[in-house]
Amino acid sequence: MTAHPIADASGPTRARRLSRTTLTAAVAAAAVAAPLVVAEPAAAAGPKVVCTSAKAGLAAKLTKDITAALRGRAGHTGIAFDDPATKTSCTYDADRQFDSASIFKPIVLGTLLWDADKAKRSLTSKEKALAHKMITESDNDSTTELRNRLTTAKITAFVKAAGMKRTLPNQTWGTTQITARDEQRLLSLLTTRNKLITDKSRAYALDLMNKVIPSQRWGTPAGAPKGTKVHVKNGWLQRDRDGLWRVHSIGAFTGGGRTYTLSVLTHGNRTWQGGIDAIQAVARAVHRDVNPAVKNAQLIAPPAHPQEVMPPRS
């Protein structure tokens, strides 16, 4: 009798088990080898108002009120505020760069005074005449002449010496890049004793900024207490490439034995008045919060018909 092989009953079953085992191992290996899938991080939050103060409750109030003043605002805004008397400071997107417009002019003035102080000389009558028109009337021709006398290279050297790290002077001076934080550094040089600019030169600069013509005293002075000594410089520029307005205001305010400073820069305004309104909303909040005893009837009102000079543009 011929013997027939007996099929291994475990053959097909074992093959299937080996297939499943192999498959399971392969899947496991693939899972280890493949990179982990990580959820995409949420979009970075926009800038926030950040305030600190040695005066109880002031930082929280400023944070709340400046944030409210910015609510619904289109475009970009850079803000920096300092009140040394209460060790208070606030920032909002303070390192964002903006086209300077006429805010370049106090930088030219600072360079002029720094250069003269280094040479231990007084300003000439011509330099004083140009500086007066440049600051009090925002005269563009005077600005260009002073810039040419100083050179953009010397202005850049002053900016560096002043610690204005993100300010980039441009030969087309209205498009010089500035930031709110750097503008505060400039205002600090003009309002506190330092090694770059002498007390006499600082007083001269602040006097010019105090004599800005009435139609150009808008912006950061809005809401300051009456009797406050206001030192201001504003600027605006509409660029051909996008049709939008850059509108800025910087100011130093002296009263009640203290001086505080505020810089508000804006970009993306469809109208120049829209930029002014945004700046003045922030300014009113700041002045109100740091002068809580002052009643509304005693506040400085901006001019009914604000005016500024359009700088050269590209």
Query: Taking all residues of the chain, what is their mean pLDDT, rounded to a whole number?
Result: 87
- Express each pLDDT in 237-251 by its tens digit: 998 889 999 999 999
CB 201 within 8 A of CB 121: no
The Cα 142–Cα 266 span in angstroms is 25
The Cα 222–Cα 220 span in angstroms is 5
Write down the pLDDT at residue 22.
41
Write down the pLDDT at residue 33.
40
Write down the pLDDT at residue 211.
98
Q: Which residues pair with 252 in a beta bridge?
A: 231, 261
248 CB-near residues (< 8 Å, 6+ apart): 98, 100, 101, 102, 103, 178, 219, 234, 235, 236, 263, 264, 265, 266, 275, 279
Write down the pLDDT at residue 16.
39
- Express each pLDDT in 252-280 by its tens digit: 999 988 999 999 999 999 998 999 999 99
- Express each pLDDT in 205-255 by its tens digit: 999 999 999 999 999 999 999 999 999 999 999 988 899 999 999 999 999
Write down the pLDDT at residue 44.
57
Single-letter amino acid code for the residue at 168: L
Write down the pLDDT at residue 41.
43
The Cα 218–Cα 221 span in angstroms is 6
The Cα 74–Cα 94 span in angstroms is 17
The Cα 307–Cα 129 span in angstroms is 21
CB 43 within 8 A of CB 52: no
Q: Per-residue pLDDT averaged across 28-40, rounded?
A: 38
